[in-house]
Chains A and B, each alone.
Chain A
Amino acid sequence: MKNDHIIQYPEEYSHCIGCSSCELFCSLVHDGVTGPCRGGIKLELGKLSTLMNKVYVCEHCEDHPCYEACPKKDRAMCVDENGTVYINEEECIGCGLCARACKLTPSRITMDKKNRKAHKCDLCRTREDGPVCIKRCPVVCLGLASDPLPYDPEKLGGAK
């Protein structure tokens, strides 16, 4: 059982068009800027010949080794009552241990080396309208794992 997190729907339901709205808006609502070292969700453009793009985002793991690795645990890296793993940026010292400890590849934590801060998905926990990446994805290819899926996995050939 995992805590709630953002998922990318299978391409039979919606094909990620690589518009990068998810990552641009994630960093815009969190930091007011866009940039490759900001935000919690990362778009990886697929091979040009196939254009199968993929987004990578934190899965808010129950065991959250990133949190365990943080030397300022509970001040910088925190876990809230819903199991959402988030970073309190003011306290973050940019050591990068969390990013290295993330059990997924690529790491779901982005290091902004210039500013010595770590960035990751916080599920937009303080945002009234919920995750902005979901809202701004123009082709509805992102959703919450906990939501009833808007498609029938059977019909889609058993995709995730």
Chain B
Amino acid sequence: MAKKKLFDKLPSCYAGKILRIDLTTKTTSIIPTEKYANDYIGGRALANRLYWDEVKDGNVPALSAENTLIYMNGPMSGTGLPYSGRAVMTGVSAKNIPEQYTHSSCGGYFGTVLKWAGYDGFIITGKADELTYVLIDDDKVSFESAEELRGAYVQATQEKLFEKYGRRSSSLVIGPAGENCCRHASIVTHADSAFAKPGFGAVWGYKNLKAVVARGTGTIAPADVDAVMRIHDWEDNPPKGKPETGDYLNTIEFAEFSGPTEPYRQVFNSCNPACNHRCMITRCGLTNPLDPNGDKVSMVGKCLDEQICIMRADNFFAFGAYIDFPRQNKPGNYKWMFPQVADPEDPLLDVYMQQYDGNLLNMWGPDFNFGTMINWCCNEYGLDKWDIGFWLFTWIYQCQEEGLFDDGKVDFGRPIDFEDPQFAKHILDCMTYRQGPMGDLLAEGVGRMIRALGKEKYGDTLRHGIFTRDGEERLTPVSWEASWGEPSHWQGRGFQGCEKNIWASMNLVNMIGARDEAGGGHSHDSYENYLTYKDDPCHSPLLIKATIHNNRRSEMKDSLVLCEYKDPDPGRPNLEVEFIKAAIGVDMTKEEIDHIADRGKLLERAILMRDHGRTRDMEVAEVYPWMTYEDPWGQTVTWDEWNDFVDLYYQAYNWDLETGWPTKEAWEDVGLDDIADFFEKEGKIPVENPNYVRKANPFDR
């Protein structure tokens, strides 16, 4: 397919410039967005290309001056389109094991404000000689000392910057966790929007970058204001969709939930401009866990903090029992993502609901105050909530249950107590400030800490007391690490006990990247298709098709940039076509959009191959072991079954079965001829090996 030309002149939904920032030399330069937007549209796809061009050798430590981080908006940000204010960041992750190129996305106002200042994104390299923030004030860019912000919490940092630059400014900041190079550190904006998973906060900390502040006076225009309006009208009243096979959660049962001891008000809100989706829940009037005698606070959360607080994932809106929320502040119109929001009239509802029942995890007693402490510390210290709530604390709990701490060799400096919020704070203080006997290890991140302690004992010991749906005990390791140094997300074990078709598909997605594709990459397919492959998903070309479809949606939602809770939306197959038309003003077919998505995805593979030596053997070895533990249905994969599935996937992408490298045609099909030439010189254009035989299973557990 030939590349589609999107425009002759850069449309006014783009700001027009990408800022190159060198912290070492304190200099900046400009790249015109026009150079890239036609072929790579924006966001992640554009960042991947920029990274390929800007970084000639990305095989550098995450915590180094050489690590290059790219922040990119999409063409949708600032246009008034719903859920379009998100942005992406890419670079070498501090958390991945091994460290490698990956991406993250984040909501908030910063992206829109940056566009009003005139920039679609920025590239950060180098290392400042003192703690610094970069001020982007329309076309004036300056490097300011952040010494007076040293140690400041995430909110205090932003409030100080608001005081200086007004409440129309916006900033991306790190908290003390980032300053101390903790590998779970996030980069945060506004109340609770964060680039969290790859530990980019630690990279900023290493680079002495406390914040990037934007303030602008410019404008952004969508191509068609009426179309933007129509999209909002549709969102206000979407037609009912048909439930699909989706992401099913574990049921985590507890006898009693120890709830909040004070009343509070709850509102549903959105994380970015013009989003009418309201997936986040804000609780107003809570005691500040870090300052109980201070002013009451409002705490933002999504599904995640409900789960941390109450560890009862089947009840997405569990807080309903405790709320008194204003009549108008109801949640917005979710897509059909969870079966519990299925059409109550659907005759198949019972079937969907049956699938939904997961297994029993038996974690610590759900406790509002304990969960709230984790949330607030993560917010204020700038830590990734997912990893802390679902990996660090479950790990401590499960190790304790298995008696692994009984010999006293691991000393947290305070007795473990899951009923005491101060224990949660203590652990996060140690991690953030590298204090106490375990401080430095905790700051290295859960995966590295476990390796340092001895993975066989502290990572792989099997936890008892978890049961399948049928009441059989099933064993999973005490550490819920799935692949690439990332905890399990939609990998079928650990927290999200989804069915085999889902986790097999999600593991394929993880396998060729370096992280879970939360959101857009969630597994989605029609219920009809699901019925054809549910008993043997790993041999289904239909499931491969669905997986590639989900890869493309993930790539596009991060390139336009939209929100993972809305794209893909099975009730709205033309969503991307409509949004592109409204913002950019170009008619694109779904195939043309997929072509850009595939180009972006292959660029990521190119970077992983060039900088991190990515091969089939590496990636299969990463994801396979986790799937040998039983899922909530008692299901696993065999070595051959998994490799058959990988074969189908590679074949669909036209990648070599032995090496996992794309063929010359695969590069050229998406218009990456120059990258094909590069790999030709490197000797990484695969030659078919007639004697290729699949390797024997190296994992004999």
Contact = CB atoms under 8 A, between A and B. Distances in A.
A139 B282 contact: no
Contacts of A18: 269
Contact of A34 (B158, B220, B265, B284): B220
A34 B221 contact: yes
B146 interface: no
Contacts of A138: 236, 270, 276, 278, 332
A21 interface: yes
B270 A19 contact: yes
B298 interface: yes
A12 interface: yes
A33 B219 contact: yes
A134 interface: no
Q: Which secondary structure dominates chain B's binding surface?
A: loop
Contact of B274 (A11, A15, A21, A29): A21
Interface in B1-37: 12
A136 B80 CA distance: 11
Contacts, number: 126
Interface stretch (A47-55, A58-66, A72-80, A84-92): A47-55
A50 B295 contact: yes
Contacts of B275: 19
Interface stretch (B246-254, B321-329, B616-624, B657-665): B321-329
A25 B233 CA distance: 13
B284 A19 contact: no
Given A24-B80, A49-B288, A51-B298, A113 B273 contact: no
A157 interface: no
A151 B298 CA distance: 24
A139 B267 CA distance: 10
B123 interface: no
A35 B329 contact: no
A32 B228 CA distance: 11
Contacts of B297: 49-50
Contacts of A44: 167
A45 B216 contact: no
A17 B158 contact: no
B268 to A, nearest CB: 8
A114 B217 contact: yes
A17 B217 contact: no
B490 to A, nearest CB: 28
B269 A19 contact: yes
Interface in A1-55: 11-15, 17-21, 24-25, 27-29, 31-38, 44-45, 47-52
Contact of A20 (B232, B265, B273): B273
B263 to A, nearest CB: 13
Contacts of A50: 284, 295-298
Contacts of B295: 49-50
A37 B217 contact: yes
A139 B191 CA distance: 19
A30 to B, nearest CB: 10
A32 B225 contact: yes
A140 interface: yes
Most interface-central of A14, A34, A36, A113 (chain B CB within 10 A): A34
B159 interface: yes
Nearest to A138: B276
Contacts of A33: 12, 219-221
A124 interface: no
A141 B272 CA distance: 17
A15 B217 contact: no
B496 interface: no
Nearest to A19: B270
A34 B225 CA distance: 10
A34 B80 contact: yes
5 interchain residue pairs of minimum CB distance: A35-B219, A17-B269, A14-B328, A33-B219, A138-B276
Given A28-B222, A35-B217, A48-B190, 5 more contacts: A14-B328, A21-B276, A34-B80, A45-B190, A114-B217
